[in-house]
Structure 1
Amino acid sequence: MNTDIPLPGLEVYRSSQLEPEDFLQFWASTVADSRTHDVDVVLERVDTGLETVDVYDVTFSGFGGHRIRGWLRIPAGANEPLPAVVEFAGYGGGRGHAIENLFWASSGFAHLHMDSRGQGSGWSLGATPDPVGSGPHAPGMWTQGIESPESYYYRRLYTDGVRAVDAARTLPAIDPRRVSVVGVSQGGGAAIAVGALAPEVQAVVALVPGPSDFPRSLALNDRYPWREVTDYLAVHRGSVAQVERTLAYFDAVNFARHATAPARFSVGLMDPVVLPSSVFGAYNAYTAPKGIAVWPYNGHEGGGPDDLLQARRFLLAL
């Protein structure tokens, strides 16, 4: 069944999320600090046995200079700089196996699939630890360091994403003018954030993106991972204002308000994990050219392979 307000209401919906006064300053300082570390990209060829795609184990410097891993997949035999896709994983997942996720390289793109620090044991493999600890938190990543924007987990993850774009743009196999960011769910939210923080990004593909529109989602969505936050606040009753302030720095709605790259979104109207209104909260706030695929009978899978095919057409048309 539909999980939110009808489509005509979604098309005009506006999130109540407010932007912190120092939002841009906070993120400019964060990104600048990360760039004081040499991105120091290291590639190691992986013998996968594949004949049409070459795969490299990648490491580069992310937030705090921490070493972040990923896979670089390139069409075999490519002899000129390629358009590139930097992909961010969904919640609980990592970069996966070297021979997974071959769609983008098989479509003629260089594909840098970034690992998510501290994740990668839920449904796909990860290989990057998060060396930063946090205070008490609910199980999962959503409340790690949530009492402060400076300590919050997603500050590190989104900064890693910016540095992944920086890393991709240094590689001879990639055309630095044609680097786009892509993600599903958590990865879609990361793509919106990185697209706003890295003006070098050519385009953004945000499929069923979250986390977005925290004010509405936390009030109406009892599904995890949103419930990680409500579980935390059910115990830390005096921290509501501080947590709400922290989350405002990481809401896709606020990043969307500073978008400069063209974007392709998608939404499933039967999605119980990321409410359609939260997707439209970010989409309707998005200030650059945009389009959205609406899947009326789909949930959090969105359009699945049809989303990917539409995304490929969108990027090839740029």
Structure 2
Amino acid sequence: MALFDLPLDQLETYLPDVPEPSDFDAYWKASLATAEGCPPLLDVQPETTDLEIVRTWDVTFPGFGGDPIRAWYSRPAGNDAPLPAVVEFVGYGRGRGLPHERLTWVAAGYAHLLMDARGQGDLYGTGGATPDPRATALGGPGVMTRGVLDPADYYYRRLITDAVRAVGAVRALPGVDPTRVAVVGNSQGGGLALAAAGLVPDLAAVMVSAPFLCHLQRAIDITDSAPYGEIVNYLSVHRDAEEAVRRTLSYVDGVSFARRAVAPAHFGAGLRDTVSPPSTVFAAYNHYGAEDRTMHVYSFNHHEGGDAVHTGRQLRWLRSHLAVSA
């Protein structure tokens, strides 16, 4: 894909007026309240793996409405001291997979919680383990449009609430320093990390690359790439639903969460990315509420962005903010 969005000099100053519903904060207060009264953890079971230097547990915690959400909790073997923790969120269509798949953060010395995505896991990877018992509203076939006609029914209301509850879950696990918790994600995972940053006021750090769910009104106007293409396809069939759909999307826009975020943040964007167009990423970055933020741009890359190069930059940046032992 050739360059298709704004040039970099305009992206760096791109600060669009992204309206949000007057009841945005009330909506999210009510959403998070669906899990009030639930314990932070429902179950923690040791998981047998063939890894010698990593220990893993199969964790279940209550998400939206108290629904059970699965996660892998991993940490360096032989170290029971309280560690800084990284909560990771997965990309669109992926589940938590197998416990040996994502070891970067554990290898760097962190405790690591990898949250499953309810009702996902069937597009790529090695699957998920968390159904979505509330996926009854019209919409589909993908979760991007599930319940999209009503903010109360929308899929991402549930998934974002799960992401916030994941932070509470990791803080309740043994061997975690609750004052040093970071969130990280790419694509959908980046959108969830941004949402968590806007809804959890005391995170230590936020790392997002190619974040999905940002500046949604522009995204569905300038790209047909999936998952935004699912909205386009849906509206091509449901021709009178545009107003309702745009209203629902306004409750989950990453720009609104970014405005409320106060934790230090590390961003990454590919300028040829049609999945998370660069102007939508910069909209969230430029609206981000903390002064301590940095952006890495990859001019010739698509949705993969900086890939392993960017991961290396994340590792160095996070070490400076969470002070994990070298």
TM-score range (shorter-chain normalised) is over 0.9
Contact 2:86 2:184 in 1 (8 A): yes
Q: For 1:257, what is the secondary structure of its paired residue?
A: helix
- Runs of 5+ in structure 2 lacking a partner? 322-326
- How far off its partner does 1:232 sit? 1.2
Q: For 2:74, what is the secondary structure of its paired residue?
A: strand
Contact 1:189 1:209 in 2 (8 A): yes
Q: For 2:34, what is the secondary structure of its paired residue?
A: helix
The equivalent residue for 2:304 is 301
Structure 1 vs Structure 2: percent identity of aligned residues?
A: 47
Contact 1:209 1:274 in 2 (8 A): yes
**Counterparts in 2 of 1:131-170, with a 5 A limit?**
131-170=133-172
Contact 2:34 2:66 in 1 (8 A): no
Q: Distance in 2 between matches of 1:76 and 1:204?
A: 25
Is it true that 1:48 corresponds to 2:63 in the alignment?
no
The equivalent residue for 2:263 is 261
In structure 2, give the amino acid aligned to 1:50: L
Contact 2:40 2:172 in 1 (8 A): no
The equivalent residue for 2:100 is 99
Residues 137-170 of structure 1: CA deviation (Å, up to 9, x unaligned): 1321111011111110000000000110000001
Aligned partner (choices 270, 273, 276) of residue 272 of structure 2: 270
The equivalent residue for 1:31 is 32
Contact 2:42 2:61 in 1 (8 A): yes
Q: For 2:113, what is the secondary structure of its paired residue?
A: strand
Contact 1:88 1:183 in 2 (8 A): yes
Contact 1:16 1:215 in 2 (8 A): no
TM-score, structure 1 normalization = 0.97
Q: How large is the RMSD of aligned CA atoms in angstroms? A: 1.1
Contact 2:210 2:268 in 1 (8 A): yes
Contact 2:185 2:207 in 1 (8 A): yes
- How far off its partner does 1:15 sit? 2.9
Q: Distance in 2 between matches of 1:128 and 1:54?
A: 22
The equivalent residue for 1:212 is 214
Residues 157-210 of structure 1: CA deviation (Å, up to 9, x unaligned): 000001100000011210000011000000000000011111132111011101
Q: Distance in 2 between matches of 1:201 and 1:135?
A: 33
Residues 34-64 of structure 1: CA deviation (Å, up to 9, x unaligned): 2222223422111112111111111111111
Q: For 1:142, what is the secondary structure of its paired residue?
A: helix
- Runs of 5+ in structure 1 lacking a partner? none
Residues 226-270 of structure 1: CA deviation (Å, up to 9, x unaligned): 111111112222221111111001010111111111110100011
Is it true that 1:313 corresponds to 2:316 in the alignment?
yes
The equivalent residue for 1:114 is 115
In structure 2, give the amino acid aligned to 1:60: F
Contact 2:197 2:203 in 1 (8 A): yes
Contact 2:5 2:279 in 1 (8 A): yes
Contact 1:72 1:111 in 2 (8 A): yes
The equivalent residue for 1:181 is 183
In structure 2, give the amino acid aligned to 1:293: H
Q: Distance in 1 between matches of 2:194 and 2:259?
A: 10
- How far off its partner does 1:9 sit? 0.8
Count the aligned residue pairs. 318
Q: Distance in 2 between matches of 1:253 and 1:114?
A: 23
The equivalent residue for 2:324 is none
In structure 1, give the amino acid aligned to 2:175: A
The equivalent residue for 1:71 is 72
Q: Distance in 2 between matches of 1:46 and 1:160?
A: 22
Deviant stretches of 4+, over 3 Å: none
Q: Distance in 2 between matches of 1:211 and 1:28?
A: 20
- How far off its partner does 1:317 sit? 0.7
Q: Distance in 1 between matches of 2:139 and 2:299?
A: 36
Q: Distance in 2 between matches of 1:141 and 1:14?
A: 29
Q: Distance in 1 between matches of 2:298 and 2:147?
A: 35
Aligned partner (choices 237, 246, 249) of residue 247 of structure 1: 249
